[in-house]
Chains A and B, each alone.
Chain A
Amino acid sequence: MNRKTQKRLLGIASLITVAVIWQIVAEYVVKRSFILPSVTDVAAAFVNLLGSGTLVADIVVSFQHFGIGLLAAFLLGVPIGILMGWFRVADFLLDPIIEILRPIPPLAWIPFAIIWFGLTTQAAGFVIFVGAFFPILTATYTAFRSIPKVFVEAGKVLGCDTSFELIRHVALPSAVPAIASGIRIAMGVGWMCLVAAEMFGVSRSGLGYQLWHNYYLHQMPNVVVYMLILGFAGLAIDRIFRNYVDQKLLRWHAGEVA
């Protein structure tokens, strides 16, 4: 048996063990589905939710919220990070504003998200944007502040005449690995903000909203279903992104680092 199959088999065995213990504890120790729903309770709830069609609809809504927020964070975070990282004046101008806004927890923006956007997709997207924006900004900024001087000078002697050309052909490609890891962090933060935003009433649907709604209804097996789906979806997003970045964008980077 090679390492890879060994790893996979042990992983599956470990998951099954946890499920069995969970089932036994829920069924014979706790004995109350409200306190701890059993594996079979959760499985039944999952099938039920899937059949009613709401589960798929809520997943779609949540991904919309997440997509809007992350896209906006990317579209604003990268350019502002580039400006602040490349131009000292932009850094001096924007840094005080950023430093004041950054420590405000994204969830503190929920009231204004609702007032400004109503109970819309954009409102939830806005809260996620606030959470995802700063990691992307900081990663881009830091990457641009640490571009090796020799790359910039090589770019200059090879004919990059303007800042725009240097940024486009030298600084940005060199910063891509750092920006990509900033986006990964931003996706983690954004995912947390998503659940909180939907829970706190920015939206009338979505995984976070349903999780909270089912808690009010005391449908605890449903709550567990939503928890697990949030976990798996977060995992899937991260994996897909990382694989994509590693394979497409960063073949060169793998060879540069230990």
Chain B
Amino acid sequence: MSGVTVQNLSKAFPKEDGTATQALSGVDLEIGDMEFICLVGPSGCGKTTLLRIIAGLETATTGKVTIDGQPVTGPDPKRGMVFQEYSLFPWRRVIDNVAFGLEMKGMGKDERREIADRYIDMVGLSQFRDAYPYELSGGMRQRVAIARALANDPDVLLMDEPFGALDAQTRNRMQKELLSLWEQTKKTIVFVTHSVDEAVYLATRIVVLSPRPGSVQEIIDIPWAHPRDRTSAEFAEVRRRVLRMIDETENPQ
């Protein structure tokens, strides 16, 4: 069981002039085991900040995040993170990037490479195991980044617009692959995106945040099985609903 609980969470970033920017205010969120949550909302609503607080890379001003009852106090390999920008270590080959987390745990070379190989295989990059990151395309790099996060066998996989920099075709393929990884590994995933289409395609629940200071405005359940048909009427309907929500909150009448 790997549930994430966010309770009454607020975050203010202090500014030079002594005032503060309120990024998040009173966020409450309950994420169950094996859920695929997408966080969407207008630009600057604090979706990334919320994800970073769950990761432990930022600290909340008030409120708290707990995972299976354990409060989050800092970064931990139990919460895997895939960043928006390319975060692979350019001086390490693919295999040693994926094995990095295991190396930090003190695992021996043979053992960690064996596990890393398994995850590289899972993301379909076996023939690139000895390549350096610069030899890979953007989509391949993000697949390695996902394998690297999964190799630590985290409870939760946090993804911050991981496909944001990819072209549309690659992006669609990556979404399909991610769903298949999710089904294989049964991880809880929290996924930040600004693409409503992506959210409706992936999520079991979409969490819509209000504009700054962000708080949970609406949660939309999407009970359909995967793979989903982007061209279906119900898909379009949900997408329209979410888009309207974001649009309304961005331009209140």
| B107 vs chain A, min Cβ distance (A) | 11
Interface residues in A171-190 (C-beta closer than 8 Å to B) = 173-174, 176
From A151, A251, A255, give the contact of B87 (CB < 8 A): A151
Would you call A97 an interface residue if the criterion is a C-beta within 8 Å of the partner chain's C-beta atoms? no
Query: How many Å lie between the Cα of A169 and that of B76 in the bound state?
Result: 16
Query: How many Å lie between the Cα of A150 and that of B87 in the bound state?
Result: 6
Interface residues in A82-141 (C-beta closer than 8 Å to B) = none
From B85, B91, B105, B152, give the contact of A150 (CB < 8 A): B85
Query: How many Å lie between the Cα of A203 and that of B21 in the bound state?
Result: 64
> Which A residues are in CB contact (< 8 Å) with B235?
none
Question: Helix, strand, loop or mixed for chain A's interface?
Answer: helix
In the complex, are the beta carbons of B89 and A159 less than 8 A apart?
Answer: no
From A153, A157, A165, give the contact of B80 (CB < 8 A): A157
Would you call A1 an interface residue if the criterion is a C-beta within 8 Å of the partner chain's C-beta atoms? no
> Which B residues are in CB contact (< 8 Å) with A170?
89
Question: Helix, strand, loop or mixed for chain B's interface?
Answer: loop
> Which A residues are in CB contact (< 8 Å) with B105?
159
In the complex, are the beta carbons of A174 and B91 less than 8 A apart?
Answer: yes
Give B220-231 as 1s and 0s: 1 = Cβ < 8 Å from A's Cβ atoms: 000000000000
> Which B residues are in CB contact (< 8 Å) with A252?
90-92, 132-134
In the complex, are the beta carbons of A158 and B134 less than 8 A apart?
Answer: no
| A11 vs chain B, min Cβ distance (A) | 33
> Which B residues are in CB contact (< 8 Å) with A255?
90, 132, 134-135
Question: Given A157-B77, A157-B80, A252-B134, A169 and B91 touching (CB < 8 A)?
Answer: no
| A88 vs chain B, min Cβ distance (A) | 17
Query: How many Å lie between the Cα of A53 and that of B239 in the bound state?
Result: 87
| A254 vs chain B, min Cβ distance (A) | 8
Would you call B1 an interface residue if the criterion is a C-beta within 8 Å of the partner chain's C-beta atoms? no
From A157, A158, A159, A174, give the contact of B57 (CB < 8 A): A157
Question: Given A252-B132, A256-B134, A153 and B57 touching (CB < 8 A)?
Answer: yes
> Which B residues are in CB contact (< 8 Å) with A158?
77, 100-101, 104, 148-149, 152
In the complex, are the beta carbons of B87 and A256 less than 8 A apart?
Answer: no
Would you call B81 an interface residue if the criterion is a C-beta within 8 Å of the partner chain's C-beta atoms? yes
22 contacts between A and B (CB under 8 A): A150-B83, A153-B75, A154-B83, A154-B89, A157-B55, A157-B75, A157-B76, A157-B77, A158-B148, A159-B101, A159-B104, A159-B152, A165-B104, A169-B103, A174-B90, A252-B90, A252-B132, A252-B134, A253-B90, A253-B91, A255-B90, A255-B132
Chain A residues within 8 Å of B, Cβ to Cβ: 150-151, 153-154, 156-160, 165, 169-170, 173-174, 176, 251-253, 255-256
**Top 3 closest pairs, chain A to chain B, by CB:** A255-B134, A159-B104, A156-B75
Chain B residues within 8 Å of A, Cβ to Cβ: 55-57, 74-77, 79-81, 83, 85-87, 89-92, 100-101, 103-105, 132-135, 148-149, 152
